[in-house]
Chains A and B, each alone.
Chain A
Amino acid sequence: EIVLTQSPGTLSLSPGERATLSCRASQSVSNSYLAWYQQKPGQAPRLLIYGASTRATDIPDRFSGSGSGTDFTLTISRLEPEDFAVYYCQQCSNSPFTFGQGTKLEIK
């Protein structure tokens, strides 16, 4: 089983700032089959990024993903008020399709 570790656990930033979220895998994620999701309280997760760097439909271009192998990053270039939420990475290469424990992005 691939274990994903996200850091930091909580990130406190202000609107307009840049956010960098990390996801590290215990073993290489094949073909960069790594996805990122955003979840707000009381809502289902929303797919942001798949294949490590491809934005999902209707996702603003301030969201970008990068990385390969075992190290992946989600970057939000300029935070908008609606971006404050919990973010999860997920490896989609091998069953079980594990999630990271999440990074909470909170308003400073």
Chain B
Amino acid sequence: QVQLVESGGGVVQPGRSLRLSCAASGFTFSNLAMHWVRQAPGKGLEWVSVISGDGNNKYYADSVKGRFTVSRDNSGSTLYLQMNSLRAEDTAVYYCARRNVAGYFYGMDVWGQGTTVTV
């Protein structure tokens, strides 16, 4: 079945780096854009980044631009988020999500269970 599994979260000191991974299965990974969304403790959802299926187009929220880098390995069906210069306000559960198969502009139809980052 379609599944996304995040890993790589943990406790890190301010200013340090962390790389999150999201392993995809059950669908043709390279066909679909992938998103990262985060949720600070007790707060709402915040969109972080998106990468196109071929990896050539990437967009970021202003809050992470210049510090976070999204990438993907289509041969290994894995999505990544490299997080540098981490700040306390980056503390959150990080979700990877698949763009809706119905279309790029139609939200995210499959989500992982999330991985927790504490700065």
Contact = CB atoms under 8 A, between A and B. Distances in A.
Given A44-B95, A44-B111, A44-B113, A93 B44 contact: no
B102 A50 contact: yes
Interface string A74-97: 000000000000101010110111
A101 B39 CA distance: 11
A17 B105 CA distance: 32
A86 B44 CA distance: 9
B88 interface: no
Contact of B47 (A50, A56, A98): A98
Contacts of B100: 35, 47, 50, 56
Interface of A: 1, 31, 33, 35, 37, 39, 44-47, 50-51, 54, 56-57, 86, 88, 90, 92-93, 95-102
22 contacts: A31-B105, A33-B106, A35-B100, A37-B45, A37-B107, A39-B45, A44-B112, A44-B113, A45-B95, A46-B111, A47-B108, A50-B100, A51-B102, A56-B109, A90-B107, A92-B105, A95-B59, A96-B60, A97-B47, A97-B50, A101-B44, A102-B45
